[in-house]
Chain A
């Protein structure tokens, strides 16, 4: 079920109605759990069993780890969890990819291997809920969780519908304490939640889907004929598209959770105003980057084992972070690029010192350079083949005249440029302010007009064709 569907509006209204009609905290949680499973089953009912399986395994394993006395027993139970979670993820997400690469390797060795025809369907949101369940078990293994959560609370933590399919990836210590109190209807939650949902839908269906996505699609589809200007426009348009799409989803998730009284972690903080790549990863998809930092980078040794190992750890983390997004070499390239940027940045920080007098100008320049490189690096992320990556990359720098016909091209390029500039300026303005601070400071009349403007645009400006959130595929 998509947040931008009419069905979701009815579903949410019914869920909220039932939720607040409940007399006990337990029945409220049961309502949310059933609603979450229904929400997930709307796509494919059979995959709901997969979430239930994952939930039961990790709840049971974490309970065993918490109560085990010996370190070796804890480690064995952790292995069970890792095998089960990563096994499922590996099969559903990387099965086809591994098989293709195996066939290619065999062919290189002169062996003509014809694999069985397997059609693996990726269960939506599996990468997100797997990371949530894993973090719970790893926390238990590290001794950071002293007590088991109840099965009901843990099931709700894994399948909570606002963030089930595309995050934010919530940590148990952020979520589970919120399950203990009965939620009472609160007009501020309704107002703030609705504002977040409307803002999220506005960025998704108006800014991303209506203004940016069609141009990006046209250029990537006709990449052989695209010219240099078209290619550069598509690069920056996709930069905007993916931000508006994903941050739009996150806003909707936060808003929906807020309607039922829950608070989810913030997932974006003006990422395109980042001053360098470490800063970018503190601002982009925060819940994933902090997960990778806490459970992968630190587990590998982080920066505690010297400069060389730090660089290796950074590269491994970003390589796997890239692969987390999908089973293709383009995602690997994207991850490796970011790993390289982080390593270079670490190295440069040790040798380059900016004079204080230049600090303000340097900050803006640094943000612009970061934005430029991050945007360019989205190319392999968006591309569907290596041919597309190579062709578009060469088009960007060879001043090629276009033979791709895009109707009303000049106008489209103009509004994309305006939109991207506005996005950058707004993020630069919000560089040190949180979204919540920015909105809270507004006068109530401005908030009303902003809300009305966004709602009107959603109704009157957005296209009627449905476009799934980009991160649903991960």
Chain B
């Protein structure tokens, strides 16, 4: 029983030539890394910023000094891809702050904003039924908002280890191009050969270039996703009893704090919309929300132009079409009372 386990032995044979091996491998590694860095500096390929809590929290922190002219976007991938920040800035009160989180729920973010009396201005909220009907998968919104709340309310301090690690990483991130999302050889390979088609910028807007991928295939899968499954899996009864009251409560609190909330249902293609109607009937979700909320609402079916826009994968636009969609939404939403007066005042100032 007490026989020693198979162990690595410290008496390495002298012929291992470790000094030579270490030196040579260090030289080869440095050469590879610096050659790759040089290539990136020379070719300057389009690199995407990795989305992270730090980036999101940086945007979230801007709301501490928000005013009536501030504008914030809360949602998921639809609002991250469809809204062109420059168009919204031109037609709205100010340049928006993007707080959408891809693949995540909106309620944690809205509740987090509602808890903060400093949050003012216009808040554009992308309402997706599956955000509330989906039982599995909560995304990153919950952990990110919880972490943010901890950091600001409970004077929470990360252990020194995390602080040091973050500082070291940010130094390296700033020094090297390859640390950016898309800057690694595999990313570029995937971008060129495997049709990577989305990029994120520092403002957290996502650009989708569907020319780089087989959008038809993605579209087909999305159709199957909506039509090919038993709808009962997708209805969470907590929508009526818990989610809707919480959503309305958060909106009301935001309004008490001085914000104006706009709920927007972003467009889907005709086939997807039909599938969505099977899974998440409008009368159960949108109509019930519209009847009970105090927010301004806008559903894409109110606009014939939006029903015709191109959405290659069924729900997200190509980045070339995002300005048009942003323009249509802005014109419709910003003309509603009481936003219209606020925007006029902000634009005059």
Residues of chain A having any CB pair with chain B under 8 Å: 1, 5-7, 10, 41-45, 144, 171, 173-174, 186-192, 194-196, 210, 221-225, 254, 258, 261, 263-266, 269, 286-287, 290, 294, 298, 401-405, 407-408, 411, 434, 436, 440, 444-445, 447-449, 451-452, 455-456, 459-461, 464-465
Contact = CB atoms under 8 A, between A and B. Distances in A.
A225 B22 contact: no
Contact of A444 (B16, B33, B184): B16
Contacts of A5: 161, 165
A405 B218 contact: yes
B161 A460 contact: no
A405 B77 CA distance: 14
Contact of A408 (B22, B136, B190): B190
12 contacts: A188-B18, A192-B18, A210-B186, A221-B137, A258-B8, A258-B10, A402-B221, A405-B218, A447-B21, A448-B28, A452-B27, A455-B25
A449 B28 contact: yes
B18 A45 contact: no
Contact of B8 (A210, A254, A447, A449): A254
Given A456-B32, A460-B185, 12 more contacts: A43-B159, A144-B2, A171-B5, A210-B186, A294-B1, A403-B225, A405-B221, A405-B225, A408-B190, A440-B16, A455-B25, A465-B52
A464 B50 contact: yes
Interface of B: 1-2, 4-22, 24-29, 32-33, 36, 50, 52, 136-137, 159-161, 164-165, 168-169, 172-173, 178-179, 181, 184-186, 190, 194-196, 218, 221-222, 224-225, 228-229, 233
A438 to B, nearest CB: 12
Contacts of B221: 402-403, 405
B39 to A, nearest CB: 11
A412 to B, nearest CB: 9
A102 B17 CA distance: 61
A461 B222 CA distance: 31
B161 A43 contact: yes
B16 A188 contact: yes
B207 to A, nearest CB: 15
B20 A265 contact: no
Given A191-B19, A459-B29, A263 B8 contact: yes
A50 B13 CA distance: 41
| A1, A188, A189, most chain B CB atoms within 10 A | A188
Nearest to A198: B25
A402 B184 CA distance: 30
A166 B26 CA distance: 29
B8 A196 contact: yes
Nearest to B190: A408
Nearest to B24: A448
B33 A191 contact: no
B185 A190 contact: no
B33 A460 contact: yes
A443 to B, nearest CB: 10
Of B8, B21, B168, B224, which is in contact with the most chain A CB atoms at under 10 Å from its CB?
A: B8
Contact of B2 (A173, A194, A404, A445): A173
Among B19, B25, B165, B179, residue most surrounded by chain A Cβ atoms (within 10 Å): B25
Contacts of A436: 8-9
Contact of A224 (B7, B136, B172, B181): B136
